[in-house]
Structure 1
Amino acid sequence: MTALTRAALRRPLTIYMLMALSVIGGLAAYRALPRESFPEIRIPLIVVSTVYPGSSPSDVEAQVTRKIETELKGLSGVKEIRSTSSDGYSLIEVEFTPDVELDTALQKVRERVDLALPELPEDAEDPAISDIDFSRIPIMILHLGGDLGMVRLKRIADDLEDRLEAIPGVNQVNVIGGQEREVHVFADPRRLTAYGIGLSDLIETIEREHLSVPGGSLDIGRLSFLVRVPAEVQDPLEIADFVVEVVGGRPVYVKDVADVVYGFEEESSRARLNGSPAIALTVEKRTGANIIAVARSIREVAEDVRRQLPSGAELRITEDQSEDIEEMVRNLENNILSGLVLVLVVLFLAMGWRPAVIVAAAIPFSMVITFLAVALLGYTLNMVILFSLVLLLGMLVDNAIVTVENIYRHREAGDPPAVAAEAGTREVTMPIVASTATTLSAFAPMLMWPGIVGEFMKFLPVTLILGLSASLLVALVFNPTLALRLLSVPPRGPARHGRGRWLDRYEKLLRWCLDRGPEVPLGFTRNWLLLVVFFAALALALAAGLAGSLAGVPVPASLPAGLLGAAAAAFAAQGVLWLLSLPAVLAGRRAWITDHRARILWSMGALLALTLAAYGALGRGVEFFPEIEPRTIWIDMEFPPGTTLDAQDALVSVIEERTRDVPDLVAAMANVGSTGVSAQGGPVGGRASNRSRVTLELERFQARSRSSFLTLQEVRREVADLTGAQINVVKPDDGPPTGKPVAIRLIGDDYAALGRAAEELRRRLAREPGLLNVSEDYDEGFPEVRVEIDREAAARSGTNTRDVALAIRTALAGTEVAKFRSGEDEYDIVVRLPAPERRSLDTLEELTVVGAGGRTVPIRSLARVVAASGPSAIRRVDLHRVITVEADVDHAGGYTDGEMRRRAAAAVAGLGLPDGVRWEFAGSTEEEGESRDFLVRAFLVAILLIALILVTEFDSLVTPITILVSVVLSLIGVLWGLIVTRTPFGIVMTGIGVISLAGIVVNNAIVLCDFILQARRRGVGKVEAIVAAGRTRMRPVLLTAVTTVLGLIPLTTGVNVDFFGGGVTFGSESSQWWGPMGVAVIFGLGVATALTLVVVPVTYDVLSDVSER
């Protein structure tokens, strides 16, 4: 590294050219980087879906799901196998551990499914195998609504779809809603029976008559003619004239047994925008496309279409993900400029404008190098990388401050520019290399973060490692070269004398801290006084605690007792030390109790104990991810199975009316018979016909009149008294999809017993204060009508189970037999019974199938029709049947996830589960536990790596232990920061902050200890070496701490200066998300700075005494 600096100082013009090229290349890379809201992650989660028509959930489970699961269970690297067996459909999810590549997982699953194929029923379709692609989440949704009628709206939506798909970067546009045209062939069961014709005959007639068959070519002379048989009808009503059969020499036409109607498909769901019928268009972008550029083009097309819409129509864009990323990019740019300004101001006040400019230059140069590296790795500019860059802001100047300040000190000593640049950099090269290495060691373990959260957060350590490495290069090459030409020393003036006075005061404080203590008699008297205070505090603490217990004082009110107890513990430690030192005091010798160093170290231990006690009494508990104010509110309704569309619509309309005037409402979307679509990054609720949803979109954060948490609570109150469905008012998940905070999975083989236990547990949890939206996924199923076929009777009649099942499906659900083409459009031709005939069991029994010799056989002679019921879906995890009861936690009410999980566990314990049923936590508990365990291990590994680097650097144990003590005690600042700001301890965000802090706080301590050792190697006494190093390092220690803190303040507090639009903004969604990490670093670093200037020198002095004995 020293050789690199020397080479740079000898070729400054070359370095200047490299600096210019890095700026040009970095800015170009920054502009070209694709923007994303969330990172593009590929999780090794494989989905196997199989269609088994006409089968019940239990049949699907037995004949399809279990057989495929049996083959899959032997796969290596599988974390969990989940399955859902429903009517005619099997869905299996195979989740692999993070170390398995997605392509490898796909291949493994394909091989095992192929082994299961011979075991599957013949009439089951081949399983479809695919992976979960998070890039398919829509980047925005366009809602087209109005009172034009659904046919006209659908035509406008189709035209808009074509225009949107022509935009570069758009991968796919899906039109959801509206009614497609359809050719209905309504068969009359009585006329079919009269003519002896079955539904299968009708289907075959249309299939063989409505077609276009190429006939090859015909060569006549020198010409070749293409031969075609154009039998497709030009008018759908021509189907009525097809001949089905000839009976008694007379043709029987389709119109004799059925009515042909050119109409619209039957309504299965409804959608409204602000009370008017609507159609939704979801837009997906191509992988790697710039979301901001694509969204801008979409908005331009939408605006052009909006101008051409007829009166009464409305086009609105909702859930625009590009707005979030644009805000984050704008905040990043403003934070960079704010950081530059703040660093320049602080450094100007401390060092003058020239050193300030040289140091501040480390920010843009390190940033542009980081942009280049991120672009080369093929990453997108997403929210995690953007925050990493903001976190880097204050850290990028740390190495530059150390280097430039040391060069500046040499210039003050009279060295010429070249000598000062080389010597000043050489002296701090190894310390800043070691300090950078320790910081990188803190972040490196996070590269191994497992699970969905790890995939989501891995971009943080990568970006930080790249940026810190760039800052080291800038500090050792760019900054010395700039200092060579730009750095000059102003004449001694009042400011320098002022700084000298502060250094003198610090030296006085440091010498007092290192003093072995006053004369023994004074120390003896003082310690008797301490003992009196100790016993008084202990008695007061015991009295307060006893009074609080007898009076039943709640925990917050018993805080004084807790604090007094902690103080008593601190005095107890002092008292024990006094007793141990009593013989030395009585003998007139110096003792530890009279040593200022011991007082400081014991005080730090007491302060740590006091902090832990205070956090236990005042802390807001633990959370997984920060809870963000929602911009979208979902009102989900689950109706009893079989509830008609009209009945659902009645309740949805009431909810629309009640929420019409909620504050900050931008748009309200209602979906009846489905839960619609979402661009929120989480799973869509589903398409079950007994579920509906009202979606409320609110103003963006800056434009809201109040917290959207208050709006969420208001909406819950508005719908609390409604009946007819289970209503849950929820917000989209914050962060990666990990499930509900409270989720209990009941496991067993008896699904009915599981269902009963789940329902009882749901009722108990619903009565628990602090739990919201309690639900279970046991689907009772629709009322069923089962057709139990007599296989022997069917065989004697020349038919079979398949023919009967297909006839019933055609009669009720309809069978698509062909396509009718009109221009570029295609419409289905569907055969079924008319709606009135599909409302009676008698019709079902009167249906006929074609048997031997073309004779029609009534179904009543082949089967028995019975009413029944059963679950509409059977869920399994790792080959066991499961039902999950889950709930949200009322964080606004002061409840924590951990507290509510304990209550839920107690509810399960009091339930008395039947034999063969066990339970476990699921949902976010799994990811939370995995992340918590990993972060604890990562912190320990980081400490070990830091210790290894320190031992290698200093070749002793005294200095590494001295430095690591400051890391542990910096937790005092973290915990008090959480208490003061009323921030919960976030497993992810605060955990990352603590690990980051471990790497940051050692930097100044390393340089300080290195200067002490350098002075001692020159023969300076230990105390004088400590004092001299403290005076030398005081300014850079304070500057590095202040610049790091100032770089994080805008994001942590949400207070931001808008350099482009003007004005100052207060609060943001980003500050809610990343604020807990900023709080941990800011408060922890503030305490660590004081520790570096006071406790580290004292600790070094004490430990060196011990090692030298």
Structure 2
Amino acid sequence: DISNDQSKFVTRMVKELENSVITGMFLVVMSLFMFFGLKNSLLISTAIPLSMFVGFVALSALGITLNMVVLFSMVLVLGILVDDAIVVIENTYRHQQEYGESPTVAAKKAAGEVFVPVLTSTVTTLSAFLPLAFWPGIVGDFMKYFPFTLIIMLTASLFVAYVISPVQAAQWINYKRDILKAKENLEHPHWYKKYNPFTILYHEVDEVVFPWLQREYVQTLKWTLKRRGLTMGASFGVLVLIMILFGLFNKGVDFFPNTQPTQISASIEMPAGTSLDVTNSVAEILEDRLKDIPGRKDVEFIATSVGTSDDPFDFGGQGTSNKGRIAINFFEKKLRSQSTFTTLEEVRNMTGGIAGAELRVAKQQMGPPVGSPVSVEISGEDYGELEKLSKMVREKIRDVKGLVDLKDDYNTGRPEVEIRIDRERAGIYYTSTGQIASTVRAAIAGVDASKYRVGEDQYNIRVRLKEGQRTSPTDLENLHITFMNRRGQLLSIPLTSVADVKRTTAVSDIRRKDQKRVITVSGDVEGRVQSEVIKDVTSRIAELDFPAGYAVKLTGSQEEQQKAAEFLSNAFIITLLLVFLIMVMEFNSLKVPFVILISVILSLIGVMLGLVVTGTPASVIMTGVGVVALAGIVVRNGIVLLDFVKHRLNEGGETLHEALLDAGRIRLRPVVLTAAAAVLGVLPLATGFDFDWREFHFVIGAESAEFWRPLAVTIIFGLTFSTFLTLVIVPTVFSLMDEWSTKISGFFGRFKTVKNGGESR
């Protein structure tokens, strides 16, 4: 029988993400339907399978398989893939409606009109993911598929929007024909269309909800344009307030999200030199105790291995008779009666009270192996002093709340028998240390006395004492040394007459890092977020005094967390600089990029508020990646909106105030739609509520959702608030910045005029 089949877990995770992809696609199509109707929504939604098809070809060419990171990237990119197609299709529809152009002419003009803003907005989004492709280290190896997949898929969506969407629009979108057909249906309604709930929903949204939304939005924008300073000040005031609230009520910071484990293990470590039978008896005791825990009914199987170790310093783990491991595998989540966190605590509580055994319970980690959540590295020269310091650190942090399974990697030593030869006494008998050592070696390990040949095979004949005569130190003390002295006399003297035999221990391994001896104190975290436990551990260690030449350092996952946080901070700054550079090249202005980047900073309001409202701990990896991705996604709508303002002003006949109101009203539909599509695409992962498209039933609390939830919450709340910022704050701030720039230009212009006048006099 197969004792540990990881393919079941992998298959389950892939299936859940596949369901999320299909559910997200369904929600995106439904949102498009409510604003565009059935035909247009289907035309736009074809961008999803077409872009993914192109993406699959590219991923396959790069040798990237459909792992869980790739599948999540597909879920995230679902709503973004239709953004470019929405802009092209919606603009084509508008050209036919407002200018009365034919489908072919409208498709050409509409695609050409939005060519630059669509290209710029997509490139800015790609620039957010580009720095993530250069993520170093083991975490980078795990997350690298995320930027690769997004960059490939978004590039494919740009191709679809430029080449396929205009063709679709020219072929199937005919405003005049659609209006005539709609009038005919109103005059002679078919009973199916008259009572079809989808048709009723579409007309309700298109004729009632959206016009009302447009009116309210225009009124709001007029109000903010009259109070630009107040609006800008209030926005930054809300940002500061949310930052304070986040500091007070946040749920802490984790490296990777803390998810319910599907497997836990109990490691057994007995004193060095313990026999395999004794270690096995301890494992049997633990197996008996596991039968009585309440969570036993959720356990699929228990597998025990004795004489093996998962410690890399044990050279593959074979031949370690003092170590063992019990693996506990759970049923899938929907078949469990309680949380596996509860079962984990039950297992941990039942491992106490076994004399001489050091037991440690660990859960299966999601994500790459980054070390223990708490890892304190003590370095110095004297190994004995390091052992004392490690004990001192353990005692100091032992009772930190949430810190469990605390241990260090100091090896107390393997028991051995030490024979110390007295050279003076050996000299009296005219024997040498070599003779004594060879006799002991022959008695215990044996010597090759001869060879035995059978055909072509040859075997060594090894001679040594019987097993009953070499099992204890007493047997060594009774050993006689037989030798020929210098006078030619054959003597046989007891070993104890020339040597002292005693029991002792010796360190079997010494670990070094950067040429210094190191002992590591490590532990797991349960019941609290990692950042809070690390904070308490750090403060307690700071109270200790270490001798000169000895240092203490937090390593393990904390070290990797700091590296990841530093990289993501740099990636965010690089993203902002790339976005700024791209927008400067498009708008030939510093004002527009500055305005749009303000909306990126203000989008953090939504991120922090979302984490507080949902009670989600911030994850260095997931939340950090979400913020970096958000920086690229947020600017898309701002670029399209302000580019439209620029076109209106270039055409002439409108003031800036009128152009901003007109652009906001016209771009309201695509801005709301693109944001709604992106939000709805990741909604199943944020809520854990999904639909199983293979077995046709709803799923509540999918396992994969726990892992990806912080990133999904970051995208949903950040993008929701940034949509409001794009529609209201961006035009308002742009108007204010334009007034300031005009005043500054006027001031310097007058100064230059005065200067030139003085020179002429």
TM-score range, shorter chain: 0.7 to 0.9
Q: Is the 8 A contact 2:224 2:732 kept in 1?
A: yes
Say whether the 8 Å CA contact 1:817–1:831 is kept in structure 2.
no
Amino acid at match of 1:1060: R
Q: Which of 1 and 2 has higher RCO (CA within 8 Å, sep 6+)?
A: 2
Match of 1:719 in 2: 351
2:623 alignment partner in structure 1 = 990
1:620 to 251, 271, 276: 251
User: 1:693-1092 to 2 correspondence within 5 Å?
Assistant: 693-788=325-420, 807=442, 810-811=445-446, 834-844=466-476, 846=479, 860=495, 865-890=501-526, 892=527, 895-1019=528-652, 1020-1092=654-726
Matched, 1:322 2:7: yes
Say whether residues 1:512 and 2:147 are aligned partners: no
Equivalence for 1:445:
131
Q: What's the CA shift string for 1:52-76, capped at 9, x where partnerless? A: xxxxxxxxxxxxxxxxxxxxxxxxx
Give, in whole Å, the separation in 2 of the partners of 1:858 and 1:391: 83
- Rounded to whole Å, the distance in 1 between the matches of 2:170 and 2:403 is 64
Aligned position for 2:733: 1099
Change (3 A) 1:639 1:357: same
C-alpha displacement at 1:876, in angstroms?
Answer: 0.7
Cα gap change, 1:741 to 1:611, in 2 (>3 Å): same
Aligned CA distance change for structure 1 residues 759 and 1014 (closer, same or farther; 3 Å) = same
Aligned letter for 1:707? S
Task: Name the structure 2 match of 1:669.
Answer: 303
TM-score normalised by structure 2 residue count: 0.86
Normalization by structure 1: what TM-score?
A: 0.60
**Alpha-carbon distance in structure 1 between the residues aligned to 2:498 and 2:621:** 63
Distance 1:1090 1:924 in 2: 38
Deviation, 1:842, is: 4.0
Closer/same/farther in 2, CA of residues 1016 and 830 from structure 1, 3 Å limit: farther
Q: Equivalences for 1:567-586 in 2 at 5 Å?
A: none
1:416 and 2:51 matched? no
The SS at the match of 2:251 is coil
What residue identity is the alignment partner of 2:22? L
| Partner amino acid, structure 1, of 2:468 | P
Q: CA deviation at 1:325?
A: 2.8
Give the superposition deviation at 1:480: 1.2
Corresponding residue of 1:636 = 267
User: Structure 1 residues 914 and 423, CA, compared in 2 at 3 Å: closer, same or farther?
Assistant: same
Distance 1:642 1:804, change over 3 A: same
| Closer, same or farther: CA 1091–810 of 1 in aligned 2, 3 Å | same
Change (3 A) 1:815 1:932: farther
Conserved? CA contact 1:797–1:851, under 8 Å: no
Q: 1:802 to 1:391 in 2, by over 3 A?
A: farther
Please state how far the C-alpha of 1:775 moved relative to its aligned partner: 0.4
Question: Structure 2 counterpart of 1:508, which letter?
Answer: Q
Greater helix share, structure number: 2
In the alignment, is the contact (CA less than 8 A) between 1:1026 and 1:1097 conserved in 2? yes
Please say which of residues 837-846 and 994-1003 is displaced more in the overlay.
837-846
Name the SS for the 2:32 alignment partner.
helix
Correspondent of 2:73 among 388, 401, 426: 388
Which amino acid in 2 is paired with 1:405?
A: E
Q: Contact 1:742–1:925 at 8 Å: present in 2 too?
A: yes
Please list, as runs of the form range in 1=range in 2, the aligned pairs for 1:9-48 lying within 5 A after superposition: none
Distance 1:746 1:333, change over 3 A: closer
Q: What CA distance in whole angstroms lies between the structure 1 residues aligned with 2:369 and 2:15?
A: 26
Residues 152-163 of structure 1: matches in 2 within 5 Å?
Answer: none
Partner-residue secondary structure (3-state), 1:865:
strand
Which of 114, 131, 135 is the aligned partner of 1:428?
A: 114
Residue 831 of structure 1 deviates from its aligned partner by: 7.2
Distance 1:1015 1:879 in 2: 68
CA contact 1:1005–1:1092 (8 Å) conserved in 2: yes
Residues 532-543 of structure 1 aligned to structure 2 (within 5 Å): none
CA contact (8 A) 2:401 2:533 kept: no
Return the alpha-carbon distance in structure 1 between the equivalents of residues 220 and 585 of structure 2. Answer: 32
Question: Counterparts of 2:267 and 2:727 in 1: how far apart (Å)?
Answer: 57
Deviation at 1:710, TM superposition (A): 1.1
Letter paired with 1:810: A
Aligned to 1:705, the other structure's residue is in SS state: coil
Give the Cα separation in 1 of the matches to 2:449 and 2:235: 79
Distance in 2, Cα, partners of 1:952 & 1:625: 38
Separation (CA, whole Å) in 2 of partners of 1:471 and 1:848: 87
Q: C-alpha distance in 1, partners of 2:492/2:112? A: 99
**How far apart are the structure 2 equivalents of 1:817 and 1:739?**
51
User: Does the C-alpha gap of structure 1 residues 715 and 1022 become closer, same or farther in structure 2, counting only changes over 3 Å?
Assistant: same
Q: Could you tell me the percent identity over the aligned residues?
A: 39
Partners of 2:482 and 2:513 lie apart in 1 by 41
Which amino acid in structure 1 is aligned with residue 554 of structure 2? Answer: F
| Paired residue type of 1:488 | N
Query: Match for 1:655: what amino acid?
Result: L
- Are the counterparts in 1 of residues 444 and 465 from structure 2 also a CA contact under 8 Å? no
The residue aligned with 1:488 is: 174
- 1:192-242 deviations in Å (ceiling 9; x for gaps): xxxxxxxxxxxxxxxxxxxxxxxxxxxxxxxxxxxxxxxxxxxxxxxxxxx
The answer (yes or no) to whether the contact 1:816–1:831 under 8 Å persists in 2 is: no
C-alpha displacement of 1:333: 3.0
Distance 1:660 1:835, change over 3 A: farther
Cα pair distance change 1:751/1:1042, threshold 3 Å:
same
RMSD over aligned Cα atoms: 3.3
Aligned partner letter, 2:84: N
Q: Tell whether the 8 Å contact from 1:665 to 1:696 is kept in structure 2 after alignment.
A: yes
Does the aligned pair in 2 maintain the 1:818–1:828 contact within 8 Å?
yes
Structure 1 residue 802 displacement after superposition: 8.6
CA contact 2:420–2:500 (8 Å) conserved in 1: yes
Shift of 1:834: 4.8
Pair 419,847 (structure 1): closer, same or farther in 2 beyond 3 Å: farther
Aligned residue number for residue 542 of structure 1: none
Q: Distance in 1 between matches of 2:228 and 2:316?
A: 62
Aligned-partner Cα distance in 1 for 2:483–2:55: 73
The 2-side partners of 1:713 and 1:727 are apart by 14
**Residues 1:700 and 1:843: Cα distance change in structure 2 (over 3 Å):** same
Deviations 1:676-696 (A, max 9, x none): 799xxxx98776322232221
- Asked if 1:469 is matched to 2:100, the reply is no
Which runs of no fewer than 5 residues in structure 2 stay unpaired? 184-202, 744-761
Aligned counterparts, 1:599-610, within 5 A: 599-610=230-241
Give CA-to-partner distance per residue, 1:597-621, whole Å, 9 cap, x none: 2222121111111111111111011
Distance 1:905 1:339, change over 3 A: closer
Question: Residue 867 of structure 1 aligns to a residue in which SS?
Answer: strand
Q: 1:400 aligns with which of 85, 91, 94?
A: 85
Instruction: Point out where structure 1 has 5 or more consecutive residues left out of the alignment.
Output: 1-314, 516-595
Whole-Å Cα distance in 2 between the matches of residues 399 and 695 of structure 1?
Answer: 50
Alignment equivalent of 2:324, drawn from 683, 692, 710: 692
Change in CA separation of 1:686 and 1:1032 when aligned onto 2, cut-off 3 Å = farther
Counterpart code for 1:785:
V
State the 1:898 CA deviation: 2.7
Pairing 1:659–2:290 present: yes
Give the AA of the match of 1:959: V
Shift of 1:865: 3.5
In the TM superposition, residue 744 of structure 1 has moved relative to its aligned partner by 1.1
For the structure 1 residues 858 and 990, does the alpha-carbon distance in structure 2 shift closer, same or farther, using more than 3 Å as the test?
farther
| Count of residues in correspondence between the two structures | 703
